[in-house]
Structure 1
Amino acid sequence: MKKLLLLCMTALFCFACNDSKTVTVTVTNPLAMERSNEMVEVSMETITNRLGLADTAQIVVLDADGQQVPYQITYDGKVIFPATIAANGAATYTIQTGTPEAFDVKACGKCYPERMDDMAWENDLVAFRAYGPALQAKGERGFGYDLFTKYNTTEPILEAMYAKELNKETRAKIAELKKTDPKAAAELSRERSYHIDHGYGMDCYAVGPTLGAGVAALMVNDSIIYPWCYKNQEILDNGPLRFTVKLEFTPLTVKGDSTVVETRLITLDAGSHLNRTAVSYSNLKETLPIVAGIVLHEPDGAVVADAANGYITYVDPTTGPDNGKIFMGAAVPTVVKDAKTVLFSEQEKKERNNADGHVLAVSDYEPGSEYVYYWGFAWDKADIKTADAWNRYMADFAQKVRNPLTIKVN
């Protein structure tokens, strides 16, 4: 009898020990729409404390079927993983000690000093760049974000595209061929250019001295204070599921004060068409309007400006007749006071490389706060084929960021 009691106590003890090495995360969806592969964040410190782990211990994340889910530990101490939750439903994930599988890199980026300090990043769907100090040193007004379309692959493509575009030997050969065989030079130039679609995507978007693909900017007396290129950059997360970069800018002159410094924290997650960006301004003395803006390349282009629901969209014609359409968008989780199209005067149009204006979402920025918004695009040659589908995506996305998933760690 004593032996049986001892065995039962031992079994209970082992069960308790095993149970103490498991944490469940319940994710609840408050909306009447499915949330598919949406990134969930849980404190890594909470996980290690509840599992009683050392900081160097390995973990795995499991779904309801016991299958491993890709995850990443971020620079700010979070475990992130994609979750799928039914409309008005809940899903439970398990975190425990174990050896994680190898995860494909879906979000990453780097700085390209050889291309005038471009900061370029991507995920499995979309790719972007912000212009850097070397470009500004040339006097170019690279205010806005640029983008690269992407299709036929979920793998990173930017590094290969930059390598081909910037190859010194190819450039030298093109220069020589121009003297003897201009046709061959032109063909070789097309082969190496990322402005030509070689089957995986391209740069077919015009930025110019505008807000481009979604830069945020302060306004004074209805005039946009255009930010120059970034001054300093620091990559904080570099995959496999999240890319995060911190950009700091040269001081702006705002209402005569030349000490206002802008900082942006840009985050792109796997599976999303949109970047999350938190913008802050140090030394700003008063509340001012702030806009999230998308450049217009047609005065009467297809625009949706929905202040009540917090999003804007625009169908961009791209830079060539065979490059399809780019569906642009931005969403703001907080109050949008106004959303509107603002066209340039004829004089300003000449100053901005013949762009026609912006579609703007207008909010207020309070000193000492962060302005958080989302911006990005889709391409009609990739996964979202029509403007109607994109507008539905943006309307749903705006609802999601205003109604976040709730997360309970058990």
Structure 2
Amino acid sequence: MITKNISKLLLFCLLFTTSAFYSCSSSKGLKSSITVNVENNSSIVKNDETVEIAWTSLKKLGVLNPAELIVMDLSSNKEIPSQVIYNGQTTPQSIIFQVDIAANTKKDYSISKGKPADYPKKVFGRQATERFDDFAWENNLVAFRMYGEALEGKAGMAKGIDFWAKRTQKLVVNEWYKLDNYHHDNGDGVDAYSVGLTLGSGDAEPIVGDEIIFPINYSSYKILDQGPIRISFELTYKPFMVDGKMVNETKTLSLDAGSQMNKVINHYDRNDLKIAAGVTKHSGDGVPKLDLENNYVAYWDLADAKVNGYIGVGVIVPTKSIDNIKTTNQHLLIISKLDKNNNLAYYQGGGWSKSGNFKDENAWFDYVRNFSQSLKQPLKVSIN
């Protein structure tokens, strides 16, 4: 009996020691936090600049619960808002946070396990089934919409990207659709931008000769991420004919808090297309800007009613595959080839004189140019 008890005790000790050894071995090299070094080596002040860290870069923190991660600004020792990015997948792809960083300076941040504060959303997007399946989205500065298939053949038929002018930090999409008078400025802003059968404030579609080929408005959508810092979604279009052959098209759009510009990726199942990204010229009373050196076109003109001030729109195509930048009767256009993955990635957006951010066309053109230059001089991010 005594011999059996001793044997059991020895077995227990052996198992405990082995378990402890493997526990220690598995935790070897793990950290309680990761330091993120951010450098702005450009001459451009970067505010609300999004930093994105791949999820795989967080493996030194061990097993992670996506809902329990904290980002700290080490200069102030204060938590800042962050968001786990899924890109429509079931598992996390990255984590993002935003920084304000002066030109030619460095800042440090940390990522660690913990329950983050409940930060308010600065972005939002949804399908507006009550208005012919518009898809509308916004951040704390601007709002946009694209038109659904249900609008085809109806009064007010439109094609491109609409711009909604805001002069409030709050989110307005739900309220404006509920009030159903967003063409009137109730104090928060107004839809005073006319799109019609054009590219609007920065859509992109195939072009053959001088003809832009529009598909039927989007037929389905998928929200990929929904705040608090980034809204991203995908729109799918029914196949349409381009130069004698059918083509499928999807658009992935994302908007970060604090930015006037969306990132857009058009994807096709053909590589032999030329794509025209551009903005609409209205009655000819506007000021155009075509800047080949900085890869953008921009336009500044009166809103639909004089009382609504001026609206600026712009498109940036940060690629070496640009064929041409030109003006037509209806548009300012950047014409480009697709990349090896059949994609065109570009940026588009708008600004409003009554928002307080853009007093005139020069202020808007400066913003678009600086945004383009900033894309060429991204933040340098390293992890320790």
Q: TM-score range by the shorter chain?
A: 0.7 to 0.9
2:49 pairs with 31, 38, 44, which one? 38
C-alpha distance after superposition, 1:383-405 (max 9, x if no partner): 22221111111111001112222
1:339 aligns with 2:325: yes
C-alpha distance after superposition, 1:145-183 (max 9, x if no partner): 1121101x2111110110111xxxxxxxxxxxxxxxxxx
Deviation at 1:285, TM superposition (A): 5.2
Once the two structures are overlaid, the 10-residue window that deviates more, 294-303 or 370-379, is 294-303
Q: Which residue of 1 aligns with 2:361?
A: 387
SS in 2 for 1:68: strand
C-alpha distance after superposition, 1:69-96 (max 9, x if no partner): 1111112321111012221222211111
Q: Which residue of 1 aligns with 2:194?
A: 206
2:122 pairs with 102, 106, 119, which one? 106
Deviation at 1:57, TM superposition (A): 5.7
Cα 1:119/1:105, change in 2 over 3 Å: same
Q: Which residue of 2 aligns with 1:155?
A: 170
Q: Which residue of 2 aligns with 1:219?
A: 207
Taking the TM superposition and a 5 Å limit, the aligned residue runs for 1:3-402 are 20-47=31-58, 49-56=59-66, 58-64=68-74, 65-76=76-87, 77-136=93-152, 138=154, 141-151=157-167, 153-165=168-180, 193-258=181-246, 260-282=247-269, 284=270, 286=272, 288-299=273-284, 301-335=286-320, 336-343=322-329, 357-366=330-339, 368-382=341-355, 383-402=357-376
AA of the residue aligned to 1:338 = N
AA of the residue aligned to 2:185 = D
SS in 2 for 1:309: coil
Larger helix proportion of the pair: 1
Q: Is the 8 A contact 1:305 1:361 kept in 2?
A: no
Cα 1:89/1:250, change in 2 over 3 Å: same
AA of the residue aligned to 2:177 = Y
Cα 1:157/1:141, change in 2 over 3 Å: closer
Q: Distance in 1 between matches of 2:243 and 2:361?
A: 39
Deviation at 1:46, TM superposition (A): 2.2
Cα 1:56/1:211, change in 2 over 3 Å: closer
C-alpha distance after superposition, 1:351-401 (max 9, x if no partner): xxxxxx101112212463211111010100012222111111111100111
Q: Distance in 2 between matches of 1:322 and 1:295?
A: 21
Q: Distance in 1 between matches of 2:331 and 2:109?
A: 43
Deviation at 1:59, TM superposition (A): 1.2
Q: Distance in 1 between matches of 2:340 and 2:205?
A: 14
AA of the residue aligned to 1:243 = I
Deviation at 1:298, TM superposition (A): 2.7
SS in 2 for 1:340: strand
Q: Is the 8 A contact 1:141 1:228 kept in 2?
A: no
Q: Distance in 2 between matches of 1:234 and 1:407?
A: 30
- Mark the runs of 5 or more structure 2 residues left unpaired by the alignment: 1-23, 88-92
Once the two structures are overlaid, the 10-residue window that deviates more, 383-392 or 359-368, is 359-368
Q: Distance in 1 between matches of 2:129 and 2:102?
A: 45
AA of the residue aligned to 1:280 = H
C-alpha distance after superposition, 1:174-202 (max 9, x if no partner): xxxxxxxxxxxxxxxxxxx1110000011
Deviation at 1:316, TM superposition (A): 2.5
Q: Distance in 2 between matches of 1:196 and 1:140?
A: 17
Cα 1:285/1:389, change in 2 over 3 Å: closer
Q: Is the 8 A contact 2:232 2:252 kept in 1?
A: yes
Deviation at 1:18, TM superposition (A): 12
Cα 1:17/1:98, change in 2 over 3 Å: farther
Q: Is the 8 A contact 1:220 1:289 kept in 2?
A: yes
Deviation at 1:239, TM superposition (A): 1.0
AA of the residue aligned to 1:322 = V
Q: Distance in 1 between matches of 2:66 and 2:303?
A: 48
Larger strand proportion of the pair: 2
AA of the residue aligned to 1:124 = N
Q: Distance in 1 between matches of 2:225 and 2:119?
A: 15
Q: Is the 8 A contact 2:67 2:115 kept in 1?
A: no
Tell me how many residue pairs correspond in the alignment: 351
Deviation at 1:17, TM superposition (A): 9.3
SS in 1 for 2:79: coil
AA of the residue aligned to 2:346 = Y
SS in 2 for 1:230: coil
TM normalised by structure 2 equals 0.87
Q: Is the 8 A contact 1:84 1:91 kept in 2?
A: no
Deviation at 1:141, TM superposition (A): 4.5
Q: Distance in 2 between matches of 1:304 and 1:56?
A: 44
Deviation at 1:138, TM superposition (A): 3.8
Deviation at 1:45, TM superposition (A): 3.3
SS in 1 for 2:306: coil
Deviation at 1:111, TM superposition (A): 0.6
AA of the residue aligned to 2:190 = M
SS in 2 for 1:20: coil
C-alpha distance after superposition, 1:270-297 (max 9, x if no partner): 0000000011111x252x3212111101
Q: Percent identity at matched positions?
A: 36
AA of the residue aligned to 2:300 = V
